[in-house]
Structure 1
Amino acid sequence: EEGRKMLAALRPVDRVVALEVTGKPLDTVALAGWLDDWQTDGRDVALLVGGPEGLAPECLARAERRWSLSPLTLPHALVRVVVAEALYRAASLNDNHPYHR
């Protein structure tokens, strides 16, 4: 049910990234590279966050990339904060702002 709702909210052109424990762990430099790609690509980015059991297989299949924030299971509210800070730090790096240090 949750997976179907997520997929229904996506457009076919959206770039989909699954936040998944088995995904790729990124440092700030790697995330800045992803962010730069996303900004030059022009497509909307959808970050999918599953429940405690993870994302539905259909959601994982739709994702272009999988990103692991941690091997731990994190609550949604904390995931939002960590992702927001990581994206801000990556954007700061891309803009040559000293915040990323």
Structure 2
Amino acid sequence: MDLSIITPAVLGVGVVSLSVAWVINTFIRVRHGYPLENSWGKAVYPKGAENEERVKLLSQENAALRAELGSIKDRMANVERIVTDSGYQLTHDIESLRGSKTEAN
């Protein structure tokens, strides 16, 4: 038998079998609720009380930031209304004329 033909075939079967074994192992881990691991063995979806507490704190912080953003949007709308108001524009024009008068003197 010629080894140059058999060697690539054996390597190919080995690579395919390792890939299939990895897929089956991952499927079993997911099915039974085990956390997946990255290439360094660290859990991708860690479970536990510490992580649940962290998610709770981040959710509270997210709610606080959303409330603050809402108030900032309201304030910004008021500022835009004031700036686009014709009375503000008139006052601004008067002040600019006063400024140009004092520069001329």
TM bucket normalised to smaller = under 0.3
From the CA coordinates, give the structure whose radius of gyration is larger. Answer: 2
By percentage of residues, which structure has more strand? 1
Using structure 2 for the length normalisation, give the TM-score.
Answer: 0.21
Using structure 1 for the length normalisation, give the TM-score.
Answer: 0.22
Query: Greater relative contact order: 1 or 2 (C-alpha under 8 angstroms, separation 6 or more)?
Result: 1
